[in-house]
């Protein structure tokens, strides 16, 4: 395997450096590999429309069990689980960062070489094989990228030619207070043309050479500002985001860029022409935090249905799908937080309360407007918290196969697979019933309206069943019960409450022209359509 190293003759003496554009390295502190970029793609894959996306976030190193417990999982091993994801109904995988990082175990947010694929995961050709295999299964690949800082460890770009100020990063980094990030003093200088081109070239490498279908940008608030606040803007960081997204939109129409900003900033997903950053969508803190609170709160009377309503209806701009909604992500299940079932009942994270309320949250993820996302293992009640050294317990997929089926049924309804829930892919939502005392909320979802389109979702956030409960419906006639989260087929601990179809009669209720009496199981969601 031929390798190469740069030898720089500088005023500071001779310095050896890895090629910053190296497509492959022998390690984060090794040499560049003379890499053959040829690869037989042979596919013509296209990302699903954004209103039909279902994203599954995963971490390569822990996604699949390995025979050697000390080794990180690799692309080839996670490819073996694509059948599970396809059956689940997922049509897009979002992979945590794969740029070469220090060591063999990491979340990936400490990139040492952003053009090289982590060797412990299998390297660049293995990643290409994985993307090709995912596409053959009808599954898109969205890649997490890190441009808010680099390193901070094993970073050859640091003081690349020996020069620096204030002991900081040198020619490619800020050398003043703008260098500071929560992860170290390694923010690239977004005002330097070579740095902007370097980041742009990296974006287009993933899109062109690896055929990824989208990019999720980590912590964009630390690209557009010094400290994540509006008081300390980095105008050159904002203009960089605009430039990158404008190029992607023009050269790769249909690919998606997603911002993780979490500052409730609608300008992230406005078009560049309107002065926005031009992202296609953004992770939505206005959804995840209220929904997690609603299901984690121990006392039913402390749950705020008004907060749930606001989470369901929030939108950043005119498109309901410019937000990604979820109850679990890598950030929400670590750093002092845990998986939702674990948070609900730390003493019994597999028991009735944990199962019932975590699936309440899941049902809202798949019925609310937005792009729904799962985090690895959520569909089989993975507990504790996320660590890059602990692989998923795939035995739980069999133990909780009913919960897996619940997620699969929700995804199939979300994607209108049977042709009678198109409204769940639609732009429109009306929360027409909200009862803080009884802890029942109902909302109407639709695209164009009418049979096969209109969907009514009713959720009971009380630990008790509710009989003959009257809610409004958009039209009279029989509304078929398409989903009952209390069905015992999903879990033997569920009560199989006898909910059924709703016969809506003319008579105004909840601001809608018709009404029906329904029966709700404890901590349950019912989905009706015509």
Contact 73, 61 (CB under 8 A): yes
pLDDT at 1: 63
How far, in whole angstroms, is CA 487 from its chain's centroid? 28
pLDDT at 401: 98
pLDDT at 59: 97
Record the tokens describing residue 483, joined without a space. 């989903």
pLDDT at 39: 96
User: Residue 528 in 3-state DSSP?
Assistant: strand
pLDDT at 68: 58
Spatial separation of the C-alpha atoms in residues 93 and 71, rounded to whole Å:
22
pLDDT at 6: 87
pLDDT at 69: 61
pLDDT at 428: 98
Q: Where does 258-416 have alpha helices with state H?
A: 285-296, 305-313, 340-344, 352-367, 395-399, 401-414
86 Cβ contact partners less than 8 Å away, ≥ 6 residues apart: 137, 138, 139
Q: Which pLDDT tens digits describe the chain residue by residue (530 residues)?
A: 677 788 899 888 899 999 999 999 999 998 999 888 899 998 789 999 999 999 999 999 999 866 556 678 899 999 999 999 999 999 999 999 999 999 999 999 999 999 999 999 999 999 999 999 999 999 999 999 999 999 999 999 999 999 999 999 999 999 999 999 999 999 999 999 999 999 999 999 999 999 999 999 999 999 999 999 989 999 999 999 999 999 999 999 999 999 999 999 999 999 999 999 999 999 999 999 999 999 999 999 999 999 999 999 999 998 999 999 999 999 999 999 999 999 999 999 999 999 999 999 999 999 999 999 999 999 999 999 999 999 999 999 999 999 999 999 999 999 999 999 999 999 999 999 999 999 999 999 999 999 999 999 999 999 999 999 999 999 999 999 999 999 999 999 999 999 999 999 999 999 999 999 999 999 999 999 99
Residue 177, φ and ψ in degrees, nearest 5: -60, -20
Spatial separation of the C-alpha atoms in residues 174 and 183, rounded to whole Å:
14
pLDDT at 30: 86
Contact 72, 64 (CB under 8 A): no
Cα distances (Å, whole numbers) of residue 101 to 120, 123, 179, 376, 431 = 10, 12, 20, 21, 46
Q: What letter would DSSP give residue 97?
A: P
Spatial separation of the C-alpha atoms in residues 389 and 103, rounded to whole Å:
12
360 Cβ contact partners less than 8 Å away, ≥ 6 residues apart: 294, 295, 459, 461, 485, 523, 524, 525
């Amino acid at each position: 395997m031929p390798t190469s190293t740069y030898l720089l003759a500088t005023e500071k003496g001779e310095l050896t450096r890895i090629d910053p554009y190296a497509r492959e390295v022998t390690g984060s502190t090794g040499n560049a590999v003379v890499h053959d970029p040829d690869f037989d793609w042979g596919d013509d894959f296209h990302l699903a429309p954004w209103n039909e996306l279902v994203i599954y976030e995963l971490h390569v190193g822990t996604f699949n069990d390995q025979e050697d417990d000390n080794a990180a999982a690799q692309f080839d091993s996670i490819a073996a689980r694509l059948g599970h994801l396809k059956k689940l109904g997922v049509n897009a995988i979002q992979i945590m960062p794969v740029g070469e990082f220090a060591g063999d175990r990491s979340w990936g947010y400490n990139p040492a070489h952003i053009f090289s694929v982590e060797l412990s995961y299998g390297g660049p050709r293995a990643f290409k094989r994985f993307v090709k295999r995912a596409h053959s299964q009808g599954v898109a690949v969205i890649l997490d990228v890190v441009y808010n800082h680099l390193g901070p460890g094993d970073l050859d770009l640091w003081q690349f030619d020996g020069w620096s100020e204030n002991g900081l990063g040198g020619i490619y980094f800020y050398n003043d207070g703008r260098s500071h990030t929560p992860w170290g003093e390694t923010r690239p200088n977004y005002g330097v043309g070579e740095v902007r081109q370097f980041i742009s070239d990296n974006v287009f490498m993933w899109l062109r050479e690896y055929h990824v279908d989208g990019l999720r940008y980590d912590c964009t608030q630390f690209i557009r500002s010094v400290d994540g606040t509006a008081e300390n803007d980095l105008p050159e960081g904002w203009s960089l985001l605009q430039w990158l997204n404008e190029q992607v939109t023009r050269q790769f129409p249909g690919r998606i860029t997603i911002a993780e900003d979490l500052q409730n900033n609608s300008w992230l997903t406005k078009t560049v022409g309107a002065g926005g950053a031009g992202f296609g969508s953004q992770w939505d803190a206005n959804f995840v935090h209220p929904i997690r609170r609603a299901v984690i709160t121990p006392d039913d009377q402390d749950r705020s249905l008004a907060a749930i309503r606001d989470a369901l209806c929030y939108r950043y701009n005119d498109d309901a799908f410019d937000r990604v909604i979820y109850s679990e992500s890598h950030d929400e299940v670590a750093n002092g937080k845990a998986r939702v079932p674990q948070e609900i009942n730390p003493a019994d994270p597999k028991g009735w309360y944990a199962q019932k309320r975590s699936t309440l949250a899941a049902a809202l993820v798949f019925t609310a407007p937005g792009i729904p996302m799962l985090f690895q293992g959520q569909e089989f009640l993975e507990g504790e918290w996320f660590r890059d050294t602990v692989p998923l317990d795939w035995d739980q997929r069999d133990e909780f196969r009913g919960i897996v089926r619940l997620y699969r049924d929700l995804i199939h309804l979300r994607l209108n697979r049977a042709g009678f829930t198109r409204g769940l892919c639609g732009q429109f939502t009306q929360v027409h019933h909200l009862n803080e005392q009884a802890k029942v909320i109902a909302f109407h979802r639709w695209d164009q309206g009418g049979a096969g389109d209109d969907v009514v979702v009713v959720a009971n956030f009380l630990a008790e069943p509710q009989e003959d409960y009257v809610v409004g419906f958009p039209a009279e006639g029989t509304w078929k019960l398409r989903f009952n989260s209390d069905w015992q087929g999903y879990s033997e601990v569920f009560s199989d409450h006898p909910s059924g179809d709703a016969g809506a009669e003319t008579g105004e209720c909840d601001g809608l022209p018709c009404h029906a009496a329904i029966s709700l199981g404890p901590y349950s969601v019912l989905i009706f359509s015509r």
